[in-house]
Amino acid sequence: MRRVWFMSPKGRMRSSAWPETWLPSSARTRLSNPAAKLRGRAKRSRDLRIGTVGGTNSDWREFPRTRKMNFLYFAMDAGPLRPNRTEKMQNAHTNRWIAVLALLFVAQLSWWALLIWRQSEELQQAAYQGLNAERRLAEHAWHEVADREQNPALAWQSVAARFPNIVHLPARDGGSLQINGQRLEALNTSLRMRRAMVLGEGCLFFFTAALGLWLMTRTAKQENYLRLQHSNFLHAVTHEFRSPIQALRLAVDTLRRRQDRPPPQDYLESMHRDLGRLDSLVANVLAVGRLDAQAFRATPKAIDLSAAVHRATDEYLRSLPEPSDWLRCQIEDRVVAEADPATLSPIVRNLLENARKYGEGQEASLILRREGSHAVLRVRDRGRGFSGEDAKHLFERFWRAGDERIRSSPGTGLGLYLTAELVRAQDASIRAESDGPGKGAEFLVSWPTAAAPAELTIAP
């Protein structure tokens, strides 16, 4: 299918997905010619290819309203998943609120710490002033008794019980009174403990709040990512359902205009492929719904994996509009494994579809063989590949490399997710490998081998 953009009689851009075989050969050869930039969404493309086709060839008469139309086809490199303007504004709004909360908390924490710090110093100063006042009272009482008895030491003994925080320092002139050193050390220790409490609780509150803000930011990012995934999925599903429906509508309109002649075989085959594509999309969506509702339960058994993979591969290749010379198959005979027969067809179909979409037109390979105690299915392509960051999201639901609003390849983001869930449901394993972007990718599915029973089960 080709995504074709055309200029309507009113000068507006319209688009439709048409089989490449419907275009004249001159048009197919000119679709990749470079041209000037296209207005609107095409400006966001990093890899833009535009071709213009004039409507004078007789082949164009098969299309409704196409005799004097200019057709434009372009392919875009979507790049990384990016939010649109509205989503950026929502993200900025959320980040501003988080920043405001952080500033308010820092201000509140700083005010609390400063207040407790000052109160500690004020309490320390008040306690010291109280001790000085007690010392002055002790001196006054001591001097009154000493003047009567003419013995400072005996005089202090009579009043010492009234002033426990004051000590007498003997000297030639009768001595002096000072504040007890232990009491002063207790005051200093109390001040240090209050300061340590402020610092400790402040750090605890700060790190607790920082953790809370980090969780809020992480939750906001996850929500934004889920929103982008949801938007991506809606755009993908809308496009994937719209393309075959538009192609079927175009084919039906063309057949209605050709009532005097039998329908061409190409039209019928294209309509059959579009219906198969719709059926595959609906099957994937329903399968994901069954997995979510836990209505699916795998029943692995000993099956002839070689025959099952061979049959699933043939069914997929027959459903494609182009020849199957892009795929090389190496299937070892009589590979018996513990697998669910009902899951083999969607697993093989999704892996091959992924290799076809992202293989950049390069040759791909499907290999099935025994490797130790496991039967391993390898699907390898030489196309786009993926980075280490993308590898973390390959089997996530709705995830696709790029933004659906400027999509460059078909799909809904459910194929690899569904494949991984079906594989894991039967105690098998799946993994993906790539040397980096532009260096191809390889997907490996591994089932435990089993002894060949008298009667083997072959996947339908």
* 369-412: pLDDT as tens digits: 999 889 999 999 988 888 888 888 888 877 766 544 445 556 66
Residue 430: the pLDDT is: 92
**441-448/429-433 β-pairing:** antiparallel
- How many Å from the N-terminal Cα to the C-terminal Cα in the chain? 29
Residue 106: the pLDDT is: 84
Residue 246: the pLDDT is: 74
Q: Looking up tokens 């972007």, which residue turns up?
A: 437
* 285-330: pLDDT as tens digits: 767 766 666 667 788 888 999 999 999 999 888 878 777 788 999 9
- Say if CB 388 and CB 406 are below 8 A apart: no
Angle, vertex CA 343, rays to CA 335 and CA 415, nearest 5: 115
DSSP assignment string, 321-379: SS-STTEEEEE-TT-EEEE-HHHHHHHHHHHHHHHHHHSTT--EEEEEEEETTEEEEEE
Pseudo-torsion of CA 218, 224, 228, 229, nearest 10°?
50
Q: State how far the Cα of 214 lies from the Cα of 115, in Å rounded to an integer.
A: 27
428/32: higher pLDDT: 428
* 105-114: pLDDT as tens digits: 888 888 888 8
* 155-186: pLDDT as tens digits: 788 788 888 888 877 765 566 788 888 888 88
* 65-114: pLDDT as tens digits: 333 333 333 333 333 445 555 566 767 777 788 888 888 888 888 888 88
* 179-214: pLDDT as tens digits: 888 888 888 888 888 888 888 888 888 888 888 888
* Topology (CATH level 3) of domain 290-448: Heat Shock Protein 90 (3.30.565)
Q: State how far the Cα of 56 lies from the Cα of 68, in Å rounded to an integer.
A: 7
Residue 376: the pLDDT is: 94
Angle, vertex CA 303, rays to CA 300 and CA 306, nearest 5: 125
Which two three-digit tokens encode residue 341?
């027969």
Q: Looking up tokens 């001790």, which residue turns up?
A: 131
State how far Cα 210 lies from the chain centre: 23
Residue 354: count of CB within 10 angstroms of its CB: 23
Please provide the average confidence, as pLDDT, over all residues in the chain. 72
Residue 262: the pLDDT is: 67
Question: Lowest-confidence range among 35-49, 105-119, 261-275, 430-444?
Answer: 35-49
Rounded to 5 degrees, φ, ψ at 19 are -60, 140
Residue 104: count of CB within 10 angstroms of its CB: 10
